[in-house]
Amino acid sequence: MAILSGQVAIITGAARGIGAGIAELLAQHGATVLISDANAEGAAIFAAQLQAQGYSAVAQRTDVTSAADRHALVANTLTQFGRIDILVNNAGVLAPVTLDEMTETEWDRLMGINLKAAFFCAQAVVPTMRAAQRGRIINIASMSARTGGLASPMHYVTAKTGMLGLTRGLARLVAPFGITVNSICPGFIETDMATVWTPETRERLVATIPLGRFGTSHDVAGAAFFLCSPYADYVTGITLDVNGGSHIQ
């Protein structure tokens, strides 16, 4: 039997990129995956692709900054499947804003998506996980939370560093209910988000990666699968680096 057979996983921002990679791998291992994304069309197309491969996948339009959307996501998942075993807080944005150009509006916008929503998505799934005395929450942070950021704006670095604090605090809080909470810090991963890098930046960045290549969404998905699997039953509160050796602590 597949390792995640019978389990239900919500992945935010799963229409493409790292979230899509995670959703696909969890589905391949037997999970039913909720392809949740603000991009309704992208989520529907990707869920249909997974279904065509024989996997159990459902799309749901969710803007993670909307309380109504978050509650609808959880309520609909429970109505359809009766359980939520895994939450991957993956939805995120990157806006290349300089120190001088930063505005409070832009700071709050990015914090809302990249940090605040992760807490409230977790808050929304904890009651059902607590009732089941079991659950997995994975927060997708960033290597910039480890390094202070090599090519990232300040609000992004701050939000991702906050994800590590959220992971540690929440891990302690919900451990008595059998729920684990862990972070993944991806390094430089080839997704649409990486299109902000200029050719010069790409050249500079790849030269800093000891394994000699950018990462893929599959590289990050492998780490997420491990954290969802029974092999990580006793792992909570950690930060798992997936960066090709770019940052070694």
Ligand X SMILES: NC(=O)c1ccc[n+]([C@@H]2O[C@H](COP(=O)([O-])OP(=O)(O)OC[C@H]3O[C@@H](n4cnc5c(N)ncnc54)[C@H](O)[C@@H]3O)[C@@H](O)[C@H]2O)c1
Asked if residue 138 lies in contact with residue 183, where contact means CB atoms within 8 angstroms, the answer is yes
For the bound state, the minimum distance from the C-beta of residue 178 to ligand X, rounded and expressed in Å, comes to 26
64 touches ligand X (CB under 6 A)? yes
For the bound state, the minimum distance from the C-beta of residue 128 to ligand X, rounded and expressed in Å, comes to 20
Question: Between 65 and 208, whose beta carbon lies closer to ligand X?
Answer: 65
Q: Return the closest-CA partner of residue 88 out of 118, 58, 63.
A: 118
Contacts of 112 (CB under 8 A, 6+ apart): 65
Among residues 1, 68, 79, 192, the one that binds ligand X under rule CB under 6 A: 192
Among residues 8, 10, 11, 19, the one that binds ligand X under rule CB under 6 A: 19
Among residues 9, 26, 34, 38, the one that binds ligand X under rule CB under 6 A: 38
Question: Between 113 and 228, whose beta carbon lies closer to ligand X?
Answer: 113
Q: State how far the Cα of 5 lies from the Cα of 249, in Å rounded to an integer.
A: 35
Among residues 10, 26, 189, 232, the one that binds ligand X under rule CB under 6 A: 189
Question: Between 177 and 239, whose beta carbon lies closer to ligand X?
Answer: 239
Active site residue 234: no
158 touches ligand X (CB under 6 A)? no
Question: Between 175 and 211, whose beta carbon lies closer to ligand X?
Answer: 211
Q: Which of residues 71-130 bind ligand X (CB under 6 A)?
A: 90-94, 113
Interface residues with ligand X (CB under 6 A) are 12-13, 15-19, 37-39, 42, 62-65, 90-94, 113, 140, 142, 186, 188-189, 191-194
Residues recognised as catalytic:
156
